[in-house]
């Protein structure tokens, strides 16, 4: 978890981010945004020094870094027939290089949710977060309205990168590097860096104001959040929206703050040696694994109880609960923010067109009329 650190004397200037990445690669496995063979942008571990990373301006990937901390599938325990053994992940130190503000806010949110989860924490303690200020709004992004960007928020990254000469006609760059935590400070020891001063911080603030002014007016989102918290959304609207939900889990898989999971056992059975001439073979449990994997609160069986009772059997109940969890004020005391960081990924992936923009717009239209 990120802790606040005095950064007054830990601000530097850098001409080439490749120098920083090369230095960090000596101690960490580098995870960055890259394009795959199909041209899709995604978070992946770097293979080969010649691959240039993509940074936070204009290419927020559809996938978030969530899977590197909250594994999509992992073994929790093993049973050998007599005893259970906890299986903590075997991890090597990783640097997540160039994480955008919205995803950093989501990681800070997950840090709180998984605060006592040893599997998450094992990965988290071995990750260095290098955040980067966004230089323009994303196509469907609204991070400014949920206090998650576009510049890296305090206490969400170990190192913060900010390009200071965005409009340089020659294409050259000067980067402000802020070591915001003790881990961040230790990560750049041995590098020769020029000191930055207050004028560079003021320039960063000026650039932030410029980027914020470029965001589209999504006031219907703020209006809808207010209606949600006032319980003003009619049940009929949730019914109408739920018809469009295909239960594909695209939104929950891509959402960087979604943390629903389920567990199941994989049992290895071996035949018992026959004790008579009978051909009957008895089976006994000898070994098993308990596995955790991502789940979705939009699945019909997610809340189904052993008794058969299902408190969210209707799709309308599940859709309402999902958006309530994203924008309810009830969770602010625990997480200090909403469960939505304004990345807009759900809008991009939903085949039923009930992503955040579509839903919030319908709520605003319905409730203000």
* Burial bucket for residue 332 (CB in 10 Å: 0-12, 13-18, 19+): exposed
Q: What is the pLDDT of residue 165?
A: 80
Q: What is the pLDDT of residue 37?
A: 82
Q: What is the pLDDT of residue 29?
A: 95
- Where helices occur in 114-261 by DSSP H, the ranges are 118-124, 182-187, 198-213, 219-229, 235-242, 250-254
Compute the residue count for the chain. Answer: 369
* Bridge partners, residue 290, by sequence: 77, 265
Q: Evaluate whether 43 touches 33 at the Cβ level (below 8 Å).
A: yes
- The residues of the chain scoring below 70 in pLDDT are 1-9, 47-59, 166-172, 269-285
Q: Which two tokens stand for residue 251?
A: 């939104």
* Burial bucket for residue 279 (CB in 10 Å: 0-12, 13-18, 19+): exposed
Q: Which two tokens stand for residue 223?
A: 């209006």
Residue in 162, 125, 209, 170 with CA at minimum distance from that of residue 13: 162
Residue in 58, 29, 28 with CA at minimum distance from that of residue 44: 29
Q: What is the torsional sign of CA 237, 243, 247, 250?
A: negative
pLDDT per position as a tens digit, 163-211: 998 665 555 679 999 999 999 999 999 999 999 999 999 999 999 999 9
Q: What is the pLDDT of residue 181?
A: 95
Q: What is the pLDDT of residue 38?
A: 85
pTM of the model: 0.91
């Amino acid at each position: 978890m990120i802790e606040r650190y005095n950064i007054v004397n830990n601000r530097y200037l850098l001409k080439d981010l490749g120098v920083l990445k090369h230095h960090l690669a000596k101690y960490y496995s580098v995870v960055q945004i890259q394009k795959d063979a199909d041209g899709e942008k995604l978070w992946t571990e770097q293979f080969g020094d010649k691959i240039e990373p993509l940074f936070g301006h204009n290419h927020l990937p559809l996938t978030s870094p969530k899977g590197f901390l909250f594994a999509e599938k992992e073994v929790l325990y093993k049973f050998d027939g007599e005893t259970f053994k906890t299986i903590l992940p075997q991890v090597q130190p990783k640097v997540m290089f160039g994480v955008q503000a919205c995803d950093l806010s989501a990681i800070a949110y997950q840090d709180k949710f998984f605060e006592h989860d040893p599997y998450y924490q094992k990965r988290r303690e071995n990750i260095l977060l290098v955040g980067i200020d966004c230089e323009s709004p994303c196509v469907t992004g609204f991070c400014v309205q949920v206090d998650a960007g576009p510049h890296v928020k305090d206490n969400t990254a170990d190192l913060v990168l900010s390009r200071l000469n965005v409009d340089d006609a020659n294409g050259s760059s000067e980067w402000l590097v802020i070591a915001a935590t003790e881990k961040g400070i230790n990560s750049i020891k041995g590098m020769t860096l020029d000191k930055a001063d207050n004028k560079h911080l003021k320039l960063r603030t000026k650039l932030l104001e410029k980027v914020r002014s470029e965001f589209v007016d999504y006031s219907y989102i703020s209006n809808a959040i207010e209606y949600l918290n006032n319980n003003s959304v009619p049940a009929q609207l949730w019914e109408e929206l739920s018809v469009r939900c295909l239960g594909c889990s695209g939104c929950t898989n891509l959402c960087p703050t979604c943390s629903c999971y389920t567990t199941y056992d994989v049992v290895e059975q071996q035949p018992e040696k026959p004790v008579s001439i009978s051909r009957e073979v008895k089976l006994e449990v000898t070994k098993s694994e308990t596995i955790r994997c991502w789940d979705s609160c939009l699945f019909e069986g997610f809340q189904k109880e052993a008794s058969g009772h299902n408190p969210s059997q209707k799709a309308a109940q599940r859709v309402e609960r999902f958006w309530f969890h994203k924008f309810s004020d009830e969770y602010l005391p625990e997480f200090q923010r909403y469960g939505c960081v304004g990345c807009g990924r759900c809008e991009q992936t939903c085949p039923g067109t009930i992503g955040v923009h579509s839903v919030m717009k319908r709520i605003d239209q319905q409730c203000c009329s």
